[in-house]
Structure formats: structure tokens, C-alpha cells
Structure 1
Amino acid sequence: MDIAPRSDTLVVPSDGDAGVVRKPFDLLRWYAWVSLAIIVSVAVGLGLISSRFIINESVERDALLTAQFIQSIADAEVRHVAIPNVRTMGELLDPRMDQAMPDVDPDARRKARGEFLDHIAHLPDMLLANIYAPDRTVIWSSNPALTGKVIESDDDLERAFEYKMRVSASYHDFDDARSEQKFVTPPQQLFIENYIPLFDADGERVAAMVEIYKEPHDLIVRIEHGLLLIWLAIAVGAAVVYLGLYGIMRRAARTLEVQQKRLISNETFVALGEVSSAVAHSLRNPLASIRSSAELAQAFDEGPAQKNISDIISQVDRMAQWVRQLLQSLRPLNDEAVPVDLPQALQESLQAFSVPLVRSGVSLDVCPLPSLRVLGHPVLIGQIFNSLIANALEAMEQGGHLRVEVVRQDRRSLTLRLSDTGKGMSEQQQRMAFRPFFTTKQGGLGVGLVLVKRIMERFGGSIRLSSREGEGTSVSLSFRLAKS
């Protein structure tokens, strides 16, 4: 469907300027950018929150399992060497306290401590292990260079001693300024620091603090896979939401645009109808009087004025026909759609133009049409064919070829094309073809195609025009099929 181009700018007068040029508000473009920004922001926020949650939960879970494992080893080694329950592994780890425990067999104490430290030294994925006494002295370390050092200004260590709880943290880069982070093998990526308290027999005092640095490769791989799936799911979900909302908004915008154009068109037709009715009412009586006077003069005058009188009658009839066409094109189309035999309606119109077609030297080629019924009104469907055939005849003044064929058919619609080999139309003429009162014919009124378009749209169909100058014009009519 060809529609006349609309202006891209709106001139709004102001007091200080002659006019301010403003672009029209594009709802679809505004919604596309704003919704994209909102959806991307929400998706990124959800992704960051989900990623942080996955990392934190994974690290906490690994730290809990490590703490449970170390505490279980500590209890098992104490029981294994038959040390009385009044002593715990936390109390046995500091060699400086050996003399303060005369009730504990020295060999059993050394054996339990040695086996526990051996388990600690061979933990999987371990980077560094330190054991602190309550005075923050390193009493054992997998890095011998740290043994005997006093660690100060370590917030995580202080919090673990103060609150008597397990403390864990994750890092991506180690800090050279922290004296306890002296790795024998530096970490490659994410590593985890765990502080695990070992209590005395009463469970009230932290007798020793175990610090474990781990780089759990399997856990890191699983975290990376989890993050990849999270971000992929968020990206796909955001894309689906955006495209879905954009599609709905695009359809709504198109519907609003069509309704706006239809409203403007209806208002235009209403205004033109009122004006046309007033003009027609004012012209009919004078035209009738002029024609009656001319016919009377023609009956009594046999002289040379006969030709002039005939011209007067002819021009009056022509004006009367314009008035009828104008009123017909602007009147409301309230006819109900009924099944119409399309081949019969076409045949009746072609039969009515059989003599003009032969007189104009136009050959006719009608392809066999399927016996189908379309939604419409017999009189209005005939008016469509009459208008298009008349236009084709006027475009082929020197003769030509008119072809009628079905170009597409499905269960719901049928498209019929009328093609002529006339003088054709320019691109600008095609854009203006369906505007009221636009015509390229001398003495034409410019309402034929307007009426055809209104009738087709009234019954749920459409019309499309294509033309090339010097080659001809094709008009495609899409009809809705009636239910059989």
C-alpha cells in the first residue's frame, strides 16, 4: 500500500523565534533504548549478585568441610595415642607447653602431634599451613621460615581468636605486606584462607589456631562453569525479554500508527463529506436549470448555436457526474460483508467495457479464476473493477494489453492482479495515487483509487500498486475468502 510521505519535522512557533524545528517523538525508538538500558542494568546487577553468591557459598562450603576435616583429624589422633580426654590436640601442638603437662606421656604427645601435622602438611590443594599459639606466635608452618615468628596486625586472625569462630576469605592476589602469606608455591588464581580454632578440653579457650591457604582447582573449575552458565542464562533471558517486549511494543506502535492514520483519514473524509454535500446541494439546482434551459434552446434553435448548446449540456452532465462521484467516494461505507462470486463480478465488469476495450485497441487476457467467493458487496466489488478497468483504458490511449490473473491463494485470502501496458506512473505519482483529489488525468476528479482503497479496507482486504513509466501499471487486490 502506497502512502504519501509525512513530514519529519514539526515547526512550533515561539515568541522569540520564527520557528523551532523539532523532530517528532518516536515512541518505538525511545522505548527500544530505554528498555535496553533497563534490562541490561538489571541483568548485569543480577549477574553480579548471583556470581558473588556462588563464589561466597562455594568458598564457605569448602571452608566448612576443611574445618570439619581438620577437627576430626585432631580428635582422632588424640584418641589414637590414648591421651586422656582432659587434653585436646590444640593443647598439645605448642612444644613450649610440653613441660607444663607432666601427666601426658611425652612420646604419645610427640606421636599425636607429628601425625596431625603430617596430615596438615599433605592436605590436597594446600599452598601454606600455619599454626598459631594464643600469643600469635607461629608454632608450626609448612614453610619453615615462618616458624617462631609473631604475627601482628592481622584482622582475620584477631577476629578468629576473639570470637572463637571459623573465619574464611578468598583472594585473587596475595599481599607481600602480610608476613604470614609467604607461599612456597605461589597461587595461580583464586585461593582461600581459612582460620580454624582448636579449643582446650573445656571448650572455652582457643588453644591453637590453624591457618590453611588452599587453591582448590576442582572447586575453581566448577565455580567458573557455574558463572559461565549464570551469565549465559542471564544473557539469553535478557535477550528473550527484550526481544519479546520490543516485538509487542513494535506491534502496538504499528497499530497506533495505523489507527492514527485511519482517524486522520476519517476526519478528513467527514470534513470533505460535509463540504461536498453543501457544494453538491448548491450546484444541483443551478446545473439542472442550466441543462433544462440548454435543452429548451436546442429544441427551438436549428442554427449554428447547436454546437455550443451541445457543449453546454455535455459540460453540465460532466459536472453532475463529478458531483455524484464525489458524494459516492466520501459517503460512509456501512454495507455488511457478504459472500460475492468473484469471477462473476469480474466478468460483468469486463462485459460492460467490452466495446470500449475493442474501440481502444486493447487486447484482454483473463487467466482462469478459481470458483471462489470473497467477502464484500456485489455492487462495491463491481465498482472496484469498473474503476480499475477505466483507469487502464485511459492509460492505454494508443492500445495495449490488459491481463487479469491470480498471483497468490491460500486458505484465507486471494490476490488478484490487473496489469496494463500503459504509460505508467512515476514514483512520486505512485506515492500520491491514493490521496484524495490527486489525479494525472485532464479533467479527472481524483477519487477513483481512493474509493477502491476504502472499499478494499472496509472488507478486510488491501490494494497495492506498482508502476514504471513507459511500461505499465499493476494493481494487486487482496480479498478475504468467504467461509464455505
Structure 2
Amino acid sequence: MDIAPRTEMPEPPAGAEAGTPRKPFNLLRWYAWVSLAIIVSVAAGLGLISSRFIINESVERDALLTAQFITSIADAEVRHVSIPNVRTMGELLDPRTDHSALPGVAPEARRKARGEFLDHIAHLPDMLLANIYAPDRTVIWSSNPALMGKLIDGDDDLDRAFEYKQRVSASYHHFEQARAEQKFVTPPKQLFIENYIPLFDADGERVTAMVEIYKEPHDLIVRIEHGLVRIWLAMTVGAGLVYIGLYGIMRRAARLMAVQQKRLISNETYVALGEVSSAVAHSLRNPLASIRSSAELAQVFDEGPAQRNIDEIISQVDRMSHWIRQLLQSLRPLNDEAVAVDLPQALQESLQTFAAALARSGVTVDLQPLPAVQVLGQPVLLRQIFNSLIDNALESMEQGGRLRVEVVKQDRRSVTLRLSDTGRGMNERQRRMAFRPFFTTKQGGLGVGLVLVRRIMERFGGSVRLSSSVGHGTRVSLNFRLALSS
């Protein structure tokens, strides 16, 4: 017995259920979330950078002004006291050198000169704490008496100021209880600034004292807060406008892509149908022609009971030939270039063609005055549009009625023509299916008339819209592009 080899089926991917359809890729949704994340990230990054820049620049500016102010006071007080052999204020600030550094200078004079400078330091605006350090890191004066005489170790900013002989500034939001030099009499409420300002000897090479100032500049803090609010508000509004603008562009692009994709699918469908229909039509034409010729020949020689059947054969052959012509016409490529067509003239020619049929059906035509305008299109194709719509209106008004033709809208670029009938109308399903190929409500119809109308209108940059309800007739609005706006 032969045993057929077993074919193993591939297992579905993990987490995927067999038969579950994959959701289509939604470009607009993905773009909305990804662009939102990117824009928010960029805006937040720019906001943080700008905020940090504003704070740092403000702190640096305040520290520079404070340093310049203290240096100027020190120089002014030295010139004011006029003590012999004293060239800088830094030489007077350490009380431990009152009796040894400058012989011949009374300690009282040194204390007096030093007191003037320290009094200015103690009354600086917005000051929280002021310390003055000797080169050995000992606090030789402080606005907090409890710190005087203490040796400060492990202060990196203080060591850096002494080592590099440069001003050092930093901003803080919370003071550290563990730092010996941050013993504020009045604790800060918000942002506070720490400045280290070196005082040099007369040669400018050796640091003789280091002034440490803690400030809480309320006016500067208010200005910084206002600046930050404006920065973040501008970032938020800018990011929102950028997102809305890009989303609007992408939404419009997505709609355009959807329309183009729909048109591409429709064109591919028409091409396939055209190829099949052409092959079928050409195959049927010769047999139909032979059948009709034979029927006509039989009609000449046979005048008996079969005459009625022969007439029916000819009628059906003619109807099938008409279907074939309609099918080929609706599916052929529309490659004609747009030219200026007189709209009232094309409409009048179609109405004249159907004048007899309208009269037989008891349909009156209510033709409103039309503006003398030229639209983009082809005369033959424009008449084909009106012929299809008038034919549909006749079909729906078997017991008579009224066909109204009027212009409902006109501007510099387009004109909208509406044809309204009082026929039986269509229900919601029929209205939705009206522009689909081969859908018809007419007895013996092929269902390509409205399809051809839409194709012609869209080919020349126009559009068609249909509204209808059962018992209240049908209204077809044709929006044409004016030839002058092309």
C-alpha cells in the first residue's frame, strides 16, 4: 500500500489567531501619534534648554554685578581710609594680623577701615548670608556670628575659587543642612544664588580673602519666572501650531492618496473589464449580425404566424447590440483633451434629441435661464452626459412629470447645473449603488450610464452628486470647471 508523504502546515505566528484578518495600515493615525511624540519631545527639549539658558544667564549676570559692586566698594574704602602701607582691602580683613602684619599701624585704624567695608557687605540687598574667608579657609567674618572662626573643609566651590583665582557662582533651590557654611539666619524661600568673589593683593597675583555671598534676588526671580512662563507658553503654542499644520497637510495628503488609490483600482478594474468586454463584444458582433440578417431575410419571405417571433428576434438582437455599444463606450479610455464647450448649446442639443420622447411621455421641461458660459470638456462627451441623465429621467417618469434644469451655483472657477425630475426616485440602497458599474433599476438596462457620467465629469476636473428619495424624484448636480479658469 502506498502511503502519501505528509505535508506539514506552517504554524501561525505567535499571538496571531488563524483566520484573523490583518488590519489595514492607517498612515494618518500612525503619523498623528509619531509626529505628536516627536514634536512634544523637541518642544520639551527646546523648552528645557531655553529655561536652563535663561536661569544660568540671569544668575551669571547677577553674580557679575555683585562681584563688581563688592570690588568697587573695597577699592573705594581703601582710598578713603588712607592708611600707610595698605594697598588693598584684602590686607585689612583678617583680624588675626592686626598686630603683626603692618607694624606702625594702629589696630583701631585697621578695625575702623575694615568695619566700613563689612557694613556695606552686611547691608547688601536680598542678602541671606555673607562670609569672608582667609586663605586657610577660616571664616574671618560672617553675617551669622556663629560661623566666625570656623574652618571650612570640603567646599569644592570655595577651593576652586581659591585655586583658579576666579569668581565662582552657583544657583540652588534647596539649601543643604550638612554644609557648614550654609547656616542661614533666614532660610531662603525659592531660588538663591551663591557667589565666591576673590580679593587680591596689590599685584593681583595672590588671593588675600574670599567673599562668599548668598542672595535671594526676589525681583530677579520674578523676572525669571515670567520669562519661563513665556518660553513654555511660546513652545506650547508653537508646537501646537506646527502639529496642527503638519497634521492638516498629512490629512489632506492621506485623503488625496485614498482618492488616487481608489481611482487607480477603478482604472485597473475598467482596464480589465474593457479587455474582457472588447473580446466578448467582438466575438458577439458577427453572430448577432448573422442572426439579424437571417431574421430580416425570413421576415421578407415569411408572412405567417412566425412573423411576430421574427420581429421579437430582431428587437432582442438590436437591444443586445445597443448594450454592446454602451459597454464599449463606457469602458473605453477617456484620453480626449479638454476644450471649451458651450454649456447651454450642448444642453439644448440633448433636449432637442429627446424632444419627441419627452412629448410622448408627457414630461414637461422647465428650463431656467442659463448663463452664457463655456466649460471644460468635449462636445460629444458632454452631450453623452445629458443624454444619459435625460434618459434616466424619462425612465423614472413613465406617467409623465416635470424635468427642471437650472444653474444653482456659479463663481469665477466653476458652475453647478442641476437636473431635477419628479419621478419615482430611489431608496437609500439604490442611491448608494447608483454609480457602481452594472447596477441598474431600469428594465433591460445595463447599468453603465451613471458610471460614464461620473468618469467624464472627473476626467475634466468636475464632479457629480446625486440625491433622491422614494416618491420625491431625483436631483443630479453637475459641477463643471469654467474654461476661463483653466
User: Above 0.5 in TM-score?
Assistant: yes
Partner of residue 439, structure 2: 438
1:141 is aligned to 2:149: no
Measured in 1, the distance between the counterparts of 2:180 and 2:423 equals 95
Aligned to 1:422, what secondary structure does the other structure show?
coil
Give CA-to-partner distance per residue, 1:379-423, whole Å, 9 cap, x none.
Answer: 111110110111112122233332211111001110111122222
1:60 is aligned to 2:65: no
Partner of residue 321, structure 1: 322
Partner of residue 4, structure 2: none
TM-score, length-normalised on structure 2? 0.92
Partner of residue 414, structure 2: 413
Higher alpha-carbon deviation: 224-233 or 335-344: 224-233
Partner of residue 102, structure 1: 103
Higher alpha-carbon deviation: 403-412 or 199-208: 199-208
Amino acid at match of 2:115: G
- 1:470-481 to 2 correspondences below 5 Å: 470-481=471-482
Shift of the 57–102 alpha-carbon distance from structure 1 to 2, 3 Å rule, reads same
Partner of residue 428, structure 1: 429
Partner of residue 207, structure 1: 208
For structure 2, which runs of at least 5 residues remain unmatched after alignment? 1-8
Measured in 1, the distance between the counterparts of 2:295 and 2:320 equals 15
Shift of the 344–271 alpha-carbon distance from structure 1 to 2, 3 Å rule, reads same
For structure 1, which runs of at least 5 residues remain unmatched after alignment? 1-12
CA drift at 1:125: 1.3
Measured in 2, the distance between the counterparts of 1:229 and 1:198 equals 39
Measured in 2, the distance between the counterparts of 1:137 and 1:144 equals 13
Aligned to 2:132, what secondary structure does the other structure show?
strand
1:79 is aligned to 2:62: no
Measured in 1, the distance between the counterparts of 2:313 and 2:420 equals 36
Measured in 1, the distance between the counterparts of 2:376 and 2:483 equals 5
Kindly indicate whether the alpha-carbon contact (under 8 Å) linking 1:86 and 1:201 is maintained by their aligned counterparts in 2.
Answer: no
Partner of residue 116, structure 1: 117
Partner of residue 447, structure 1: 448
Measured in 2, the distance between the counterparts of 1:87 and 1:342 equals 103
CA drift at 1:15: 6.0
Higher alpha-carbon deviation: 215-224 or 176-185: 176-185
Give CA-to-partner distance per residue, 1:433-470, whole Å, 9 cap, x none.
Answer: 22211222232111101111111112111111122233
Kindly indicate whether the alpha-carbon contact (under 8 Å) linking 1:120 and 1:129 is maintained by their aligned counterparts in 2.
Answer: yes
CA drift at 1:78: 0.8
Measured in 1, the distance between the counterparts of 2:359 and 2:109 equals 126
Partner of residue 271, structure 1: 272
Kindly indicate whether the alpha-carbon contact (under 8 Å) linking 1:461 and 1:480 is maintained by their aligned counterparts in 2.
Answer: yes
Measured in 1, the distance between the counterparts of 2:177 and 2:394 equals 95
Partner of residue 217, structure 1: 218
Aligned to 2:98, what secondary structure does the other structure show?
helix
CA drift at 1:187: 1.8
Measured in 1, the distance between the counterparts of 2:416 and 2:85 equals 97
Aligned to 2:426, what secondary structure does the other structure show?
coil
Give CA-to-partner distance per residue, 1:255-311, whole Å, 9 cap, x none.
Answer: 322222222222211111111111111111111111111112222222222221111
Shift of the 469–104 alpha-carbon distance from structure 1 to 2, 3 Å rule, reads farther
CA drift at 1:131: 1.4
Count of residues in Structure 1 that have an aligned counterpart in Structure 2: 472
CA drift at 1:32: 1.8
Higher alpha-carbon deviation: 320-329 or 139-148: 139-148
Measured in 1, the distance between the counterparts of 2:308 and 2:262 equals 48
Amino acid at match of 2:411: D
Shift of the 228–201 alpha-carbon distance from structure 1 to 2, 3 Å rule, reads same
TM-score, length-normalised on structure 1? 0.92
Measured in 1, the distance between the counterparts of 2:250 and 2:127 equals 56
Kindly indicate whether the alpha-carbon contact (under 8 Å) linking 1:362 and 1:400 is maintained by their aligned counterparts in 2.
Answer: yes
Higher alpha-carbon deviation: 80-89 or 383-392: 80-89
What value does the CA root-mean-square deviation take over the aligned residues? 2.0
Give CA-to-partner distance per residue, 1:148-177, whole Å, 9 cap, x none.
Answer: 333333222222223322211111122222
CA drift at 1:327: 0.7
Kindly indicate whether the alpha-carbon contact (under 8 Å) linking 1:14 and 1:20 is maintained by their aligned counterparts in 2.
Answer: no
CA drift at 1:371: 1.1
Amino acid at match of 2:248: G
Which structure has more relative contact order (CA 8 Å, sep 6+)? It is: 1
Amino acid at match of 1:249: M
Kindly indicate whether the alpha-carbon contact (under 8 Å) linking 1:85 and 1:201 is maintained by their aligned counterparts in 2.
Answer: no
Give CA-to-partner distance per residue, 1:325-369, whole Å, 9 cap, x none.
Answer: 011111122222222111121122122222322333333222111
Give CA-to-partner distance per residue, 1:198-246, whole Å, 9 cap, x none.
Answer: 1233433322211111111221122222222222232233233323333
Amino acid at match of 2:263: R
Partner of residue 260, structure 1: 261
Kindly indicate whether the alpha-carbon contact (under 8 Å) linking 1:414 and 1:479 is maintained by their aligned counterparts in 2.
Answer: yes
Measured in 2, the distance between the counterparts of 1:254 and 1:294 equals 55
Aligned to 1:45, what secondary structure does the other structure show?
helix
Aligned to 2:483, what secondary structure does the other structure show?
coil
CA drift at 1:113: 0.7
Partner of residue 242, structure 2: 241
Measured in 2, the distance between the counterparts of 1:85 and 1:240 equals 68
Amino acid at match of 1:217: H
CA drift at 1:86: 4.5
Amino acid at match of 2:329: Q
1:92 is aligned to 2:92: yes
Aligned to 2:199, what secondary structure does the other structure show?
strand
Aligned to 1:475, what secondary structure does the other structure show?
strand
Amino acid at match of 1:314: S
Partner of residue 469, structure 1: 470
Shift of the 473–104 alpha-carbon distance from structure 1 to 2, 3 Å rule, reads farther
Amino acid at match of 2:249: I
Partner of residue 37, structure 2: 37
Partner of residue 402, structure 2: 401
- 1:122-201 to 2 correspondences below 5 Å: 122-201=123-202
Partner of residue 293, structure 2: 292
Higher alpha-carbon deviation: 52-61 or 331-340: 331-340
Kindly indicate whether the alpha-carbon contact (under 8 Å) linking 1:138 and 1:149 is maintained by their aligned counterparts in 2.
Answer: yes
Amino acid at match of 1:65: L
Partner of residue 69, structure 2: 69
Kindly indicate whether the alpha-carbon contact (under 8 Å) linking 1:412 and 1:481 is maintained by their aligned counterparts in 2.
Answer: yes
Measured in 1, the distance between the counterparts of 2:484 and 2:287 equals 49
Amino acid at match of 2:120: H
Higher alpha-carbon deviation: 399-408 or 176-185: 176-185
Kindly indicate whether the alpha-carbon contact (under 8 Å) linking 2:78 and 2:86 is maintained by their aligned counterparts in 1.
Answer: no
Kindly indicate whether the alpha-carbon contact (under 8 Å) linking 1:198 and 1:206 is maintained by their aligned counterparts in 2.
Answer: yes
1:384 is aligned to 2:385: yes
Measured in 2, the distance between the counterparts of 1:212 and 1:85 equals 28
Kindly indicate whether the alpha-carbon contact (under 8 Å) linking 1:437 and 1:446 is maintained by their aligned counterparts in 2.
Answer: yes
Measured in 1, the distance between the counterparts of 2:430 and 2:104 equals 113
